[in-house]
Amino acid sequence: MKFEIKKKDNKNVIFIEDILFDWEFELKDLEEAVMFAGNDECIKKAIHGDIKSYLLESLSEFLQKEVTISDIINAIKTGKI
Amino acid sequence: MITVEENDDRFYIKKSKIKNAGKGVFAKRDIKKNEFLNIIGVAVKLNSPSMECTHYADRYKFAYRDKDFDRVIVPMGYGGIVNHTTNKQEQNVEIRCDRSNNSSNPSAGFMSYYFIKNVKKDEEVLGNYNNSFQKTLDWAKPKSESINKDINEWLEFLNYDLYDLKTLKELIKLD
């Protein structure tokens, strides 16, 4: 499948076969998470992990197949996923 | 032998006002919001003989957030007998983990009861046993492990700044 990164509303977004993968995370939630995490490394990693799994679940659902971060990095480089 | 000594002079112990709760912790003087009571004690590794040998204290143990989430604190100071109430109006402390705490007590870890409101002299210190901290740990452990596994790949991915994800890297820096 064709995989492209394009600019939309000043953001880099993913297009698959010319269809926008419409995804976002709430910046406000992230700011609250920053307050919550403080200096705790485990909580900080958990917040990253939470957003990562949210992204992968959403993209996998969009593509109808399971994808990993490695697959996305590869797709950015090759233009195919 | 380690000697653990509670030396916080802002508190004293007497019979709790909570029915059937036994003893409780009371303020010896007025305490301001954001002061904290360090939970002092000893850390015990989970799934270890020491964990089993301290089963008598199981209901008092605190989850202890360290790198590997593998310890609990057996409290040995006032923190161990702070009573809990479901009445939010009566709650005046909550458990927090704060590595920036500078306690003079060598038996203090990073877990503390933070005062969420001003407390008058002779008022009982009361918290909330809803296990929210444990729930946080239960949530955080698998999520942080998923990042630990492929952290370099994840950081590389964030550099592409898809959907403003670079903000995440900037706001929450990973060591």
Which residues of chain A have a CB within 8 Å of the CB of B102?
none
B149 inside 8 A of chain A by CB: no
For residue B155, is pLDDT > 90?
A: yes
Inter-chain touch B97–A73, beta carbons under 8 Å: no
Higher pLDDT, A58 or B86: A58
Which residues of chain B have a CB within 8 Å of the CB of A72?
157
Task: Give the span between the Cα atoms of B25 and B85, in whole angstroms.
Answer: 13
ipTM above 0.85, yes or no: yes
Higher pLDDT, B158 or B107: B158
Question: What does the DSSP 8-state code read for residue B123?
Answer: P
B132 inside 8 A of chain A by CB: no
Q: What is the pLDDT, as a whole number, of residue B69?
A: 60
Q: What is the pLDDT, as a whole number, of residue B102?
A: 60
Q: What is the pLDDT, as a whole number, of residue B149?
A: 84
Q: What is the pLDDT, as a whole number, of residue B25?
A: 97
Q: Describe chain A by its helix, strand, coil percentages, rounded to 5.
A: 55, 20, 25
B115 SS3 class: strand
Q: What is the pLDDT, as a whole number, of residue B64?
A: 65
Q: How far is CA B70 from the centre of its chain?
A: 14
Torsion angle in degrees (nearest 10) through CA of B20, B78, B131, B171:
160
Q: What is the pLDDT, as a whole number, of residue A25?
A: 84
Inter-chain touch A31–B163, beta carbons under 8 Å: no
Average confidence (pLDDT) over B115-144: 81
Residues 98-117 of B with CB under 8 A from A: 98-100
Per the CB < 8 A criterion, the answer to whether B162 and A13 are in contact is yes
The predicted model scores a pTM of: 0.57
Q: What is the pLDDT, as a whole number, of residue B98?
A: 63
Q: What is the pLDDT, as a whole number, of residue B171?
A: 86
Could you read off the pLDDT of A15-47 as tens digits, one per residue?
999 999 999 987 777 776 776 666 677 778 888
Confidence of residue B158 (pLDDT cuts 50, 70, 90): very high
Q: What is the pLDDT, as a whole number, of residue B112?
A: 84
